[in-house]
């Protein structure tokens, strides 16, 4: 599945082929299609793989306060993506454009939407129980937030205007979340919790580069 992810990032959905995926594995194209009858089935299986990974990532944050988790969720959606994230989300946007004509993709994307809304609703309900969020309807708020986030992402990807993310993030905090937060509770300016990445899709070289950068920064701090 990591090969499918790499191929989507580099080729995009429109130019994705079984050969492009096979080239990134130790399998041949024929061996790949022994397990899948079509590119459609392979991509649908890949979406299912992402759904499983998302649930695992959500589970890693459940012991943290709801306000921290909400801030991490907002930041995950609206922070500037790196090159790989931008390429992948652009490919997924291409795939979503096929959903009106492809029942398999549509069903998988519905599952993804349900999972996202469920995760956000859980955060909002937990915040109500913790007393940091006002009493409200978590399902309605989650739907509004996700529609807002999706709109910002689509505009950024299609128009190349990163300011949409910053503007929508500020508006989300000031106009939507201000009505959700309990009195005397402020939305964090600095996000203390990073929403976990899917480690199955993180390239080992990228990991080493991040570790090297962190070590270098730490050494620099000690020398100052």
- Rounded to an integer, what distance in angstroms lies between the CA atom of residue 222 and that of residue 94? 46
Structural domains of the chain in order of their starting residue, each with its CATH number: 2-194 (1.10.357.10)
Is 117 within 8 Å of 146 (Cβ atoms)?
A: yes
**Tokens for 16?**
């994705």
- List the pLDDT tens digit at each of the 224 positions of the chain: 888 889 888 888 888 888 888 888 877 767 666 677 777 888 888 899 998 888 889 999 999 999 999 999 999 999 888 888 888 888 889 989 999 999 999 999 999 999 999 999 999 999 999 999 999 999 999 999 999 999 999 998 888 888 889 999 999 999 999 999 999 999 998 888 888 888 888 654 444 344 434 444 444 444 44
């Amino acid at each position: 599945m990591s090969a499918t992810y790499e191929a989507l990032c580099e080729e995009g959905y429109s130019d994705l082929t079984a050969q492009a995926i096979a080239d990134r594995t130790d399998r041949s194209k024929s061996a790949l299609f022994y397990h899948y009858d079509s590119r459609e089935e392979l991509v649908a299986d890949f979406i299912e793989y992402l759904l499983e990974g998302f649930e695992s990532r959500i589970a890693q944050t459940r012991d943290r306060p709801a306000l921290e988790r909400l801030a991490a969720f907002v930041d995950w959606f609206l922070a500037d993506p790196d090159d790989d994230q931008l390429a992948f989300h652009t490919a997924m946007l291409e795939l979503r454009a096929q959903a009106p004509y492809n029942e398999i993709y549509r069903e998988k994307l519905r599952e993804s939407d349900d999972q996202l809304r469920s995760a956000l609703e859980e955060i909002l309900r937990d915040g109500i129980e913790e007393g940091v969020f006002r009493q409200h309807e978590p399902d309605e708020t989650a739907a509004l937030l996700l529609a807002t986030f999706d709109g910002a992402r689509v505009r950024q990807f299609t128009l190349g205007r990163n300011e949409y993310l910053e503007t929508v993030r500020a508006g989300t905090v000031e106009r939507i979340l201000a009505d959700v937060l309990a009195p005397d509770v402020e939305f964090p300016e600095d996000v203390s919790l990073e929403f976990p990445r899917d480690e199955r899709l993180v390239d080992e070289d990228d990991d080493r580069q991040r570790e090297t950068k962190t070590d270098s920064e730490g050494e620099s701090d000690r020398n100052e």
